[in-house]
Structure 1
Amino acid sequence: MAESMKLIEDDVARLREYIEGRAAKGGDLRLPPEPKLCEALDMSRGRLRTVLKRLEDEGLIWRHVGKGTFIGARQLKVDDGNWSSSISVDNLMDARLVLEPQLAAQAAVHATPADIAALQQCLTEMQAPGPFMPWKRLDERLHRTIAEATHNALLLMLYDTMRAQVRVNLDARMEEVFAPMTDSRHGTDNEHLLLVDAIRTHNPGKAEQFMREHLQSVRTRLFGLR
């Protein structure tokens, strides 16, 4: 069983690298059809579907029946096709400060043992030394797992829509600040520890407080005091 799980984790890591490589090149965010993906990754159809489901659950990809599999989180459709161009960095950080502390509070109320175990696993992996990109993936997974732990599909959809805009508008700045500075990452990891502990002990007030303080700290690291 342990060996089988390791093989799945290895396949998940390979697919993540493949997806990140395509995303870095820009252009079409739709993945090739499953037969071509199987060939590119040397993976069986059944195993590919298993790892696709895993990455879809993490919000790295989304699937539309009849249209294909796409990189990124599923986005809400809006009537104004130009709406996203009007979103500023300040808008995004303000939105995070409104939404994510409430998600953390709801997670503290509704989180299951499985949710808490997933959050603690993220923390463990984030504390290991290493390059920026794996740490960033884990940071994204941690925040989305908190949203998932609310067990509220509408809140999760709102989070995914906001997160998609964060990727477009903030990822470059995050890499510029956090990639060369391990101290900044360690400080963020400590903030995550407090936050996850509040969720683990089912303390919504503290979870909301620690998430707000964490996001304010990130904002200061990225843009200075404002």
Structure 2
Amino acid sequence: MSVAEDMDDAGAKRAPSEARPSDVLPRIRAFLTQADTLDDGRVPPEREMAQALGVTRAELRKALAKLEAEGQLWRHVGKGTFLGARPADPAADVASMARLTNPAEVMRTRLAIEPEIARLAALNATPAQISEMHSLLRKCRQAQTWRQYESFDTRLHRVIGAATQNTLLLSLLDTLSAVRQAVNWGRLRASPQRPSEDHHSFAEHEAIVAAIEDRDVARAGQAMRAHLTSVGRNLLGRAEEE
């Protein structure tokens, strides 16, 4: 290296291992483009990147902070550096969605996806899942309070979701359920302490599970749609849009 090459713009001596800040960022961009990432998008550790690029870890961290600000990557203390934008916080997302939506929207969304979930459950439910559905039907009827009933009701709908054998669809149902529970429903239900013995959902749930058990895809979807329409009518005081 010549004397000129080893001097910075002010003429001061610069350590051979010290890179100009303007040089580091494009080198790191190129490195990350070609780097082998793990399945979760994690890039090599800082020590490994610094050695590969011939920069100090301080220089590397400054450049990584710049890329993070641009949304090119994100860092998690103790876990590493990951390509792409930082994932949203699911809990924060649910709270935000609950503030922006309302009971009518929740019911319309349920009508949009849960009949198809019931159809897929009729195709794919295991004997164990069907047995669990029957157990939850009994628990719904035996519930001593609305809180107990709603807990069993939520579990029943989730077992039906799990019976699709579709992980992504079940995740969407879980998100919808979380939003549903977070939404302020007000005093929409004017009823006694517990569901009455002839509560509409009992027979409607049984019709859904019977159709799933019979592997009747069309009937399962229709039964779920009828149930949710009835739920919307009773909670909101009007028929939900089909």
- Whether these two folds match at TM > 0.5 is yes
Question: Is 1:118–1:145's contact at 8 Å kept on the other side of the alignment?
Answer: yes
Name structure 2 gaps, 5 residues minimum. 1-77, 79-88
Percent identity over the alignment is 32
Residue of structure 2 aligned with 1:213, choices 226, 233, 237: 226
How far the C-alpha of 1:129 sits from its partner, in A, is 5.3
1:188 maps onto 2:190 in alignment: no
Name structure 1 gaps, 5 residues minimum. 1-65, 67-73
How far the C-alpha of 1:183 sits from its partner, in A, is 3.0
Question: The residue matched to 1:182 in structure 2 has which SS?
Answer: coil
1:120 maps onto 2:149 in alignment: no
How far the C-alpha of 1:166 sits from its partner, in A, is 0.3
1:159 maps onto 2:153 in alignment: no
Question: Is 1:178–1:184's contact at 8 Å kept on the other side of the alignment?
Answer: no
Runs of 4+ with deviation above 3 angstroms: 74-78, 80-84, 170-174, 176-181
Question: Is 2:99–2:183's contact at 8 Å kept on the other side of the alignment?
Answer: no
Question: Is 2:121–2:161's contact at 8 Å kept on the other side of the alignment?
Answer: yes
Question: The residue matched to 2:183 in structure 1 has which SS?
Answer: helix
Give the AA of the match of 2:200: G
Aligned residues: 152
RMSD: 2.7
In structure 2, relative to structure 1, the CA distance for the partners of 1:210 and 1:173 (3 Å cut) is farther
- The alignment's TM-score, normalised by the length of structure 1, stands at 0.60
Deviations 1:32-51 (A, max 9, x none): xxxxxxxxxxxxxxxxxxxx
Bigger helix fraction? 1
Larger of the two Rg values belongs to structure: 2
- The alignment's TM-score, normalised by the length of structure 2, stands at 0.56
In structure 2, relative to structure 1, the CA distance for the partners of 1:169 and 1:126 (3 Å cut) is same
Mapped partners of 1:173, 1:106: distance in 2: 34
Give the AA of the match of 1:89: P
Give the AA of the match of 2:130: I
What's the counterpart of residue 63 of structure 1? none
Mapped partners of 2:95, 2:216: distance in 1: 40
Give the AA of the match of 1:103: I
Question: Is 2:143–2:194's contact at 8 Å kept on the other side of the alignment?
Answer: no
What's the counterpart of residue 235 of structure 2? 222
Deviations 1:170-221 (A, max 9, x none): 56556x3455463386221111011100001111100000000000000111
Mapped partners of 1:137, 1:131: distance in 2: 10
How far the C-alpha of 1:130 sits from its partner, in A, is 1.7
Deviations 1:122-177 (A, max 9, x none): 01122225222221111111001100100100000100111111001156556x34
